[in-house]
Amino acid sequence: MKGEPSTVISLPPQPGEQAPDFTLPSTAGADVTLSSYRGSSNVLLAFFPLAFTDVCTVEMCDFTGGLDAFRDANAEVLGISVDSIPTLNEFKRKHGIAVDLLSDFRREVCRRYGTLIDDLFFSQRAYIIIDKRGVVRWMHVEEEPGHKRDNVELLAQLAAIE
């Protein structure tokens, strides 16, 4: 139907399943591989539609403000969008974002995690918490792009797996 949201390519990995591994370029200057966190840190994958949009900016700034709390929860926050590294670097610079942002410019990880909106060619807003063993422990995909989870909820989900 006209005006209806697009269908997503596949379903995200479900709690209890091994998180699909990936390697993406990051704003830290080196590629980031998800499996490199196994045994040392939980990971919050935060898929976001596009840099410089209102909700995405607030969301990444909120993660920056709560970064110490996430680190206290032994969790790395990785923001993932389809934007290029130069765009993500400018986004970080302009808004003082301290979270590492990953570029899924080829949309491969968004497809693998079931967050890509096929006809819009960018990701839904989604959160996936992965434990130190690489297992998905919690996930949430926003139905509306203007909605986001707040840090309190995300930190509570992280606390539940310790």
Q: Which residues participate in catalysis according to the annotation?
A: 56
**Which residue's structure tokens are 């930190």?**
155
Query: What is d(CA 46, CA 63) in angstroms, rounded to the nearest whole number?
Result: 10
